[in-house]
Amino acid sequence: EHSRGFGLYAFEIDERALYLGRAIGSTLGERVRSQCRSLGAKRWDAVILHERCRIHVLHIHEPHWPWAAAFETFLIREFRFPVNDRVS
């Protein structure tokens, strides 16, 4: 069910979050699938191809979708995930 919703997602290895993203214009399932197919960048490939890579999703219910972008920006600024290149 969460794959059809909207919200935030994170890629982690060994309980360390390395990348945080949001799914607002597309569903969590669509966005995560797209990220998993986006190979070609050295740092990203090291995460996505790692055997212990895990994906976590935070489903945000409909009336609160607009908060996903603000929450993503706050978390990236606060925790400085090593694979996030920019703050949205």
Give CA 16 to chain center in angstroms.
13
Q: What are phi and psi of 10, to 5 degrees?
A: -140, 145
Q: What is the pLDDT along the chain (88 residues), one digit of tens a residue?
A: 678 999 999 999 999 999 999 999 899 999 999 999 999 999 999 999 999 999 999 999 988 888 889 999 999 999 999 999 766 5
pLDDT of residue 85: 79
Contact indicator for 47, 85 with CB cutoff of 8 Å: no
Give CA 52 to chain center in angstroms.
16
pLDDT of residue 62: 84
pLDDT of residue 65: 83
Contact indicator for 3, 27 with CB cutoff of 8 Å: yes
